[in-house]
Amino acid sequence: MVETRELKLDIERIGTVSAVLTRPDHARACYVLAHGAGADMRHSFMEKVAEGLARRGIATFRFNFPYMEKKQGRPDQPAVAHAAIRAAVDEAARLCPGLKLVAGGKSFGGRMTSQAQSKAPLPGVKGLAFLGFPLHADKKPSSERAEHLAGITIPMLFLQGTRDGLADLGHLRPVIKTLGARATLHEVEGGDHSFAVLKKSGRSNDDALTEVLDTLAAWIDQLA
């Protein structure tokens, strides 16, 4: 049985946003799952991740960033995004006492989570998991967006498609190597920024997402 709770998340001095807790019976961990820049917490990708992790015994806490709640086109400034993530982590810990806590998310949401962690550790969070880390602007390879990762001391998992236009692997692999044992890179062969694959690959998008979720669940289980 899976419990889905519609919630409101209060962000100090900023306002209130919508949130959803998806928690299976006998959950062993909770993943604070932040959405990407262009779609909210109810996007089909986010729904599939939450449902898939629930089948694997992992709860998720999803939430909207304030700009998305207000239906504004431009993402929040980092300070606002960081505050939303901290509020979400605190609320997930309150709602899921005793569960292993992991944070991160899709693209922009994952990067904002890593930035928040680099500035001050997110209380209780044991690891960060990125579903397509946006290393650079589309097809403009660089690694500047990864500089803050050096200040993070907890384990990190990078799930990246090999066709991801926002994360050239020629730039990402050296970043992972520099981070050492605390960073793990899992490459999804043929996947784009959302792990969609070409028909000629012989795999479906669902196959690729299954690989992503199996890898994520196994990594969470290995965290101390």
The pTM for the full model equals: 0.97
Amino acid at 59: A
Q: How many domains does the chain have?
A: 1
Confidence at residue 209, expressed as pLDDT on a 0 to 100 scale: 98
Kindly report the CATH number assigned to the domain that includes residue 204: 3.40.50.1820
For residue 30, the tally of other CB atoms under 10 A from its CB is: 28
Domain of residue 96 covers 2-222
Confidence at residue 183, expressed as pLDDT on a 0 to 100 scale: 98
Confidence at residue 10, expressed as pLDDT on a 0 to 100 scale: 98
Of the pLDDT bands very low, low, confident and very high (cuts 50, 70, 90), residue 198 is very high
Confidence at residue 187, expressed as pLDDT on a 0 to 100 scale: 98
pLDDT in tens, 80-111: 999 999 999 999 999 999 999 999 999 999 99
Confidence at residue 124, expressed as pLDDT on a 0 to 100 scale: 98
pLDDT in tens, 5-56: 999 999 999 999 999 999 999 999 999 999 999 999 999 999 999 999 999 9
pLDDT in tens, 168-184: 999 999 999 999 999 99
- Asked if 186 and 215 touch (Cβ cutoff 8 Å), the reply is yes
Largest CA distance in the chain: 50
pLDDT in tens, 127-157: 999 999 999 999 899 999 999 999 999 999 9
